[in-house]
Structure 1
Amino acid sequence: MTAVLPDTLTFDRLETPIGTALLVTDEAGALRAFNWTDYEPQMRAWIARHYPKAAVRNGVSPLRAAFQAYFAGDAQALATVPWVASGTAFQRQVWDTLCSIPAGETLSYAGLAQRIGRPTAMRAVGTANGANPVAVVVPCHRVIGANGSLTGYGGGLHRKRWLLSHEGASFREVLAA
């Protein structure tokens, strides 16, 4: 089945406690991309590759209130946000599985690989996790190292730390030697 590509994408900017977020929604109100303004050039290039015929306009996302509620303290506010992500079948499987990690909990890459029935695919799971175009809604920040430590996050470890703390999740700080 071929995914229906949007005709129009709305680009919204939302101030958050950890920087200005970019919300990209389609005409049906589904989130198509999420990132931070410090990654805007990469995000625009990604949008041009995945949605080359879509008109991009500035506007207010219909999802803005859900994001505002989340950043104001409601860790469950994004649980029902509709999203559509452009990716391979394997990536979409990983992203769907990420949504099974509740706010306030974390999972290791090995645990995520086991959940999708591919226990030896930890690296591939990590790569798919890093390619997630709808971060925060598809909670890639909830994946941490096997020892409970923070590991890479496309938006920066400072944001991952904040998001996990905001949701009440436990993790381990590992200081550089």
Structure 2
Amino acid sequence: MKPTTRGTLAAVVAGAAAAVGTAAGPAAATGSVPVPVPLQGASAALGMPMPEAGLEVPLLTSGAPEGPRYVTGRLLPERTIPQVPLRGALPGAHVRAPLPRLVGSGYDHVGADLPASGLRALSPGVTADAPLTGPDPQHFGLPALKQPELGILAPVLQTVADADLGSGPGR
């Protein structure tokens, strides 16, 4: 392939990657999709201010599991059923409600901000080994017996949840 063709192909691939990256936008960065809750119609129908609410729905993406690792002295690989990594976010919510003032006219507000927080998880896995050893030269190449092994790899869940509650003047 000529250098000019390679350069043109690299520019096209870089442009396509940039276009896909901007199309994914902030949803891919946080691992959640914002969903507004439309309450403006109820506000107009009732003639009073309504709460404002928005949700964040998580997007879970699975990663590639680690392949089996062969260890000397074992007939089966170390991870018979590997753990699958998952990334995403916990669901989030943003709520702000008007409160009528006790003295005077107008409204204050109370709000809760529960942002979507990152989530990293690993599914459970299994590790096992057969009740035989590998070929043993001292037993004329025949395998010897041993205790079978079976283990469960525990699932992992890592996240840091955050919340902010507040109130103040104004809507």
Q: TM-score range by the shorter chain?
A: under 0.3
TM-score (norm 2): 0.21
Larger proportion of helix: 1
TM-score (norm 1): 0.21
The structure having more radius of gyration, on CA atoms, is: 2
Larger proportion of strand: 2
